[in-house]
Structure 1
Amino acid sequence: MTEGKRCSVVDAIGDQRAKRDHEAASPPNIVVLQADQLAADALGAYGNQVVSAPHIDQLAQSGAVFDRAYCNSPLCAPSRASMMTGLLPSQNGCYDNGADFPSSVPTFAHHLRALGYHTALVGRMHFIGPDQHHGFEERLTTDVYPADLDMVPDWNLDSSQRLPWYHEADSVFAAGACKATVQQDFDDEVGFLALRHLNDRARVDRALGRRNPFLMVASFIHPHDPYEPPPEHWDRYDNVEIDGPTHPDPPTADSDPHTHRLRAMSGFDARQPNAAQILRARRAYYAAVAYIDDHVGRIRARLHELGMAENTVVILTSDHGDMRGEKGLWYKMSPYEQSARVPLIVVGPEDRVPRGRFATPVSLLDLAPTLVKLAGGDDPGPSLLDIARREGAGTSAADRDIVIEYLAEGTVAPHVTVVRGQYKFVRCPGDPDQLFDLDTDPDELVNVAGHPEHTRRVALLRKDLDDRYDFAALEEQVRVSQRRRQLVSRALATGSVRHWDFDPAPEQRYVRGDFWSSLERGRIPDLGS
């Protein structure tokens, strides 16, 4: 080899090493994969022995798994708004599925976009109102549910008066495989466009000659009810023994009025599924989880195919869980573990993401500061990864409070839960206090709020919540918001109607303008061939 050739090879190796060093030092790409109504305990990664979700299991084996992660409101829109803003529903004003939050409230999409990230939403985020981006530079799909003020609760209604959009018991009685549904169509579109968006980010990197960091949130509707998975996924549970609810009977009405309000709201007080119907609905739910797992696998495979995996942090979570027949409840809206606890798994380069399982209580409020810090920004909030590192070093903040608010249909007063260490305390004016010791009573069967040995603890938790909340003022705040939105909704439904649903613009992504340049821009060479 001549000296000139030797130098050129050395230079090339040096250039490659410098590029790798630059890639490692620069902010990572971030992909957030969000399911809807996916309970943590419905995954093998969290101990479920029935469900088949190998791609999510693989994520858990190679990243940080938060065993005690909670949503901050067990309902779609308020949970997602809290996750994106780092603020509770009482703080951002998104109380229920018919509430918007102001466009001026920063979200993690705003923060990352300001830090130079390309930010894209593929799928649902249940934004209500005219702002259907909330900081995302690009949105590739509309939402599966309407963006108008169609689902405003009314705390003045008698419990016997049902609004037309309430959850229905029919989802349990009619559960089973379907060749096509609105929700399948939506998620298939989300999956396809997520893969294509990753291709587009690779095209941008190729055109720039460097990596331009991006945030992609791919948000699916399954395994949300109706429980109607594709036949392929339903068939995966042939000859599989489906587990029934561990405790299918509801608590007494005087001990837990909230559970009975939820049952009445969905019609489960009038008719109850039998054992076979319960197992069929749970099988359909598990099949929908397998369907989501396939999407997760395809997105991860595409990251590897495009050479992006090494510089991408992947986060998997959900907006809330699903009761699946436990305590006579289905769907969400309850502070019980099956409804309020969510999967939260973070996978990425080892120098950024610690490996292992972590027991420190966390919530979706922690996601926004985590993303900002991953992107190189400053945020005073706790990062999930810092929490994991502290626990790994033996300095876990096990007693940090996790707050869960419920301010929507099925209650007539603010319903607030605090998780502190092994205890969960539930307070709702007009209802009896509830205290559960999750260490000795993980199924939340025994309310120990009235036990003498817990008198001091209950008094302290009650005082702490009363210091944090003016419950009467919050109730009035919610009621005023409901009346205001009901008026706006009636007015906007009168005369010329203009819906707020996001309408994706047609894309000019194929051959336009210069023929050969268009073809070249679309190429992503296979470097392995």
Structure 2
Amino acid sequence: LWLYYISLICGLILDNMIYHRAVELIIIGDGRLTFHPGSQVVKLPFINFMKTYGTSFLNAYTNSPICCPSRAAMWSGLFTHLTESWNNFKGLDPNYTTWMDVMEEHGYQTQKFGKLDYTSGHHSISNRVEAWTRDVAFLLRQEGRPVVNLIPNKAKERVMEADWRNTDRAINWLRKEAINYTKPFVLYLGLNLPHPYPSPSSGENFGSSTFHTSLFWLKKVKNHIFKIDWFNKNHRSSFTKTKCLITKFNLNFIVGEIILTLHQLDLLQKTIVIYTSDHGELAMEHRQFYKMSMYEASAHVPLLIMGPGIKANQQVSNVVSLVDIYPTMLDIAGIPLPQNLSGYSLLPLSSEPSKNKRKVKNLRPPWILSEYHGCNVNASTYMLRTNQWKYIAYSDGVSVLPQLFDLSLDPEELNNIAAKFPEITYSLDQKLRSIINYPKVSASVHRYNKEQFIMWKQSIGQNYSNVIANLRWHQEWLKNPEKYENAINQWLTTHIASQFE
């Protein structure tokens, strides 16, 4: 199931009335699909244009591999445990000051179109109950497989109509509004692609969805689908491969519309463009759907910067993450950076030395942090990524054994070597604990989940058991409701072990 989404941010900055700079950010999925050498068979001219004339970050990561918490980190510049953005319906406070708010306070004209999802996403009671009760031994039914809606039109390009409406709104704003401003501005465009549409006939309880495409896009991908060794090596199904490629072609097409518009308005040479993702999608790597995992397909994201003062055709191997977007945006605008940010500006890694005259006060650490606390897993997950190693710890660091991967030798993450190299495992765990007291954070999430479930249960009253039984994936509840009610009660009355405190 293709469940990550796309966003596009672009902005236009007027620097002392001398030249324009635009900042544009597009959010897509798994970064390896964009940058991996084996993907060069796929011709993505506008994305390749950005790579040729900009800087590519080869090791960029999400700070939480799910939509809302990831975007909360990107818009706040803070790690997930600092904002307590635990899941897809608990992100930033609606009044939180984002980097765009700061830029507006400093005289920038700001505009947003499309999908945001950094305060909360649109998610059902099923999603919420699944997240809150993730420690309870439920047997959940598998989610319904997506339905394909093939439009029999060889000329139909705009199959994701809502995304194209928002893209057109952004383009019209550039043409009619942005070009006439006498002060700097920032434009954000959020896309839903490649999220499939809900399947109305299935309803919420079935969880199915519809992937829209047309003969136009199938023709685009038919000559690529079995040519890509990297796809085949990772055992993606033909259906999943097709969706990956269709998504890439669609994105390239939309990116091209924005780039061509900037060119036509004589702004492209005065424009800084940033292209990145909130998370990836496993697409059956490690036999898993969705994101919600620290494996590369889920946690690794694309990141490109192109524009005046940015090094062309440059590849950066440093590990970076989405909390770096906040300080980068302010750095581009010349706005002083707050002291409490989790991230660091990307400009020292991507800009020409003569263009980056600002003194860098703090050296970038050689690691990034990612964490996950939402549904579909029964333990909070923490990932420390360095140049060579990926260390993954779970919950309290004891109940579930950690994972260690040497990505230089094992890029597909097939061999967990944590037990083989105990000294390295211990050292990385100590480093992780120095960054975040993760057993304490896990305990906070446990308490939050119980509190939220109790509040929901009280709002439902005695009928809560029947409500759960009819949620999306809880059909097993109907067979033995007393069993699951007792499991809920035991979970609610069990104290968190002292090792979490």
TM bin (shorter chain): 0.7 to 0.9
Equivalent in the alignment of 1:28: 21
Equivalent in the alignment of 1:224: 195
Counterparts of 1:154 and 1:318 in 2: how far apart (Å)? 26
Equivalent in the alignment of 2:366: 400
Instruction: Please show how residues 76-95 of structure 1 align to structure 2 within 5 Å.
Output: 76-95=67-86
Q: Which amino acid aligns with 1:186?
A: A
Instruction: Please show how residues 133-212 of structure 1 align to structure 2 within 5 Å.
Output: 146=122, 151-152=127-128, 153-162=131-140, 168=143, 170-171=145-146, 174-175=147-148, 177-178=150-151, 184-202=160-178, 204-205=180-181, 210=182, 212=183
Identity %: 24
Give aligned pairs, total: 415
TM-score for the superposition, normalised by structure 2? 0.74
Counterparts of 1:398 and 1:440 in 2: how far apart (Å)? 25
Does the 8 Å contact 1:50/1:241 carry over to 2?
no
Does the 8 Å contact 1:223/1:289 carry over to 2?
no
1:387 positional shift: 2.6
1:113 positional shift: 1.1
**Structure 1: which 5+ runs fail to align?**
1-19, 130-144, 249-274, 495-529
Does the 8 Å contact 2:86/2:445 carry over to 1?
yes
Work out which of the residue numbers 256, 263, 267 in structure 2 matches 1:308. 267
1:470 positional shift: 3.1
Distance 1:203 1:43, change over 3 A: closer
Helix, strand or coil for the counterpart of 1:314?
A: strand
Work out which of the residue numbers 247, 253, 262 in structure 2 matches 1:288. 247
Counterparts of 1:432 and 1:87 in 2: how far apart (Å)? 27
1:48 positional shift: 1.0
Equivalent in the alignment of 1:56: 47
Helix, strand or coil for the counterpart of 1:49?
A: helix
Helix, strand or coil for the counterpart of 1:28?
A: strand
Does the 8 Å contact 1:315/1:347 carry over to 2?
yes
1:450 positional shift: 1.1
Bigger Cα Rg = 1
Instruction: Please show how residues 278-357 of structure 1 align to structure 2 within 5 Å.
Output: 278-349=237-308, 351-352=309-310, 355-357=313-315
RMSD: 3.3
Equivalent in the alignment of 2:345: 383
TM-score for the superposition, normalised by structure 1? 0.71
1:368 positional shift: 0.7
Q: Which amino acid aligns with 1:476?
A: A
Counterparts of 1:397 and 1:485 in 2: how far apart (Å)? 40
Equivalent in the alignment of 1:137: none
1:107 positional shift: 1.3
Equivalent in the alignment of 1:126: 117
Q: Which amino acid aligns with 2:220?
A: R
**Structure 2: which 5+ runs fail to align?**
1-13, 197-209, 462-501
Does the 8 Å contact 2:225/2:245 carry over to 1?
no
Counterparts of 1:414 and 1:104 in 2: how far apart (Å)? 27
1:375 positional shift: 0.9
Does the 8 Å contact 1:98/1:148 carry over to 2?
no
Query: Between Structure 1 and Structure 2, which shows a larger proportion of strand residues?
Result: 2
Distance 1:30 1:73, change over 3 A: same
1:127 positional shift: 3.7
1:361 maps to 2:361: no
Work out which of the residue numbers 474, 477, 481 in structure 1 matches 2:441. 474
Helix, strand or coil for the counterpart of 2:177?
A: helix
1:318 positional shift: 1.1
Deviations 1:34-65 (A, max 9, x none): 23xx2112226764134342211111111011
Distance 1:93 1:245, change over 3 A: farther
Equivalent in the alignment of 2:233: 246
Counterparts of 2:265 and 2:221 in 1: how far apart (Å)? 33
Equivalent in the alignment of 2:401: 432
Equivalent in the alignment of 1:461: 428
1:360 positional shift: 0.7
1:111 maps to 2:102: yes
Distance 1:230 1:71, change over 3 A: farther
Does the 8 Å contact 1:98/1:151 carry over to 2?
no
Counterparts of 1:202 and 1:343 in 2: how far apart (Å)? 27
1:482 positional shift: 2.8
